[in-house]
């Protein structure tokens, strides 16, 4: 991309812009084009020249060979809030992200936890098993459990 510092930068600009849209990200993430449109980028037939002499096509190929994908210089670290007692809880509430009417509870449950992984829980949702992300759950404490009484004391 830094090769656009010479005087012929205008002829290389479309290739630079195309490279930015279709460059694959590190760690197997999709390109920005795939994130927006949900599929790999395809070129229409009119994009490529149809000249028979080959000089324009050879010039485009030479320019395309000069571009190399850049390495990603930063790593995005996303930290999710995870309640302290989530790993110990046998029951959880699940947040439903649909449009809710006024005064409707955003969490439903409690649902029994069948299995736990680092990013998702397998829950028993009224007889049906489903994996739910930990971003959508919060611990539930049935009456009489020890962890329900470990909160701060109020006098």
Residue among 133, 63, 56 at smallest CA distance from 92: 133
pLDDT < 70 stretches in the chain: 1-6, 21-22, 24-28, 40-54, 57, 69-78, 80, 144-155
- Answer whether residue 72 is part of any domain: no
95 token code pair? 């947040």
Please give the residue range of the domain that contains residue 33. 2-66
- Answer whether residue 48 is part of any domain: yes
d(CA 33, CA 37): 6
List, for residues 66-75, the tens digit of each pLDDT value.
777 666 666 6
14 and 61 together in one domain:
yes
pTM of this structure? 0.45
Element (DSSP H or E) covering residue 139:
strand 137-140
Say what the pLDDT of residue 1 is: 46
110 and 58 together in one domain:
no
What is the tally of structural domains in the chain?
2
- Answer whether residue 47 is part of any domain: yes
48 token code pair? 């490529």
């Amino acid at each position: 991309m830094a090769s656009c510092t010479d005087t012929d930068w205008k002829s290389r600009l479309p290739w630079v812009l195309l490279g930015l849209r279709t460059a694959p990200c590190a760690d197997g993430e999709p390109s920005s084009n795939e994130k927006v449109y949900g599929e790999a980028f395809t070129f229409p037939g009119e994009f490529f020249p149809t000249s028979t002499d080959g000089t324009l096509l050879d010039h485009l190929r030479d320019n395309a060979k000069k571009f190399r994908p850049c390495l990603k210089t930063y790593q995005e670290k996303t930290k999710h809030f995870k309640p302290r007692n989530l790993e110990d809880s046998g029951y959880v509430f699940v947040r439903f992200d649909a449009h809710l009417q006024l005064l409707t509870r955003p969490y439903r449950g409690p649902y029994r936890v069948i299995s736990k992984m680092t990013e998702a829980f397998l829950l028993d949702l009224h007889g049906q098993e489903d994996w739910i992300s930990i971003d959508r759950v919060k611990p539930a404490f049935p009456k009489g459990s020890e962890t329900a009484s470990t909160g701060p004391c109020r006098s």
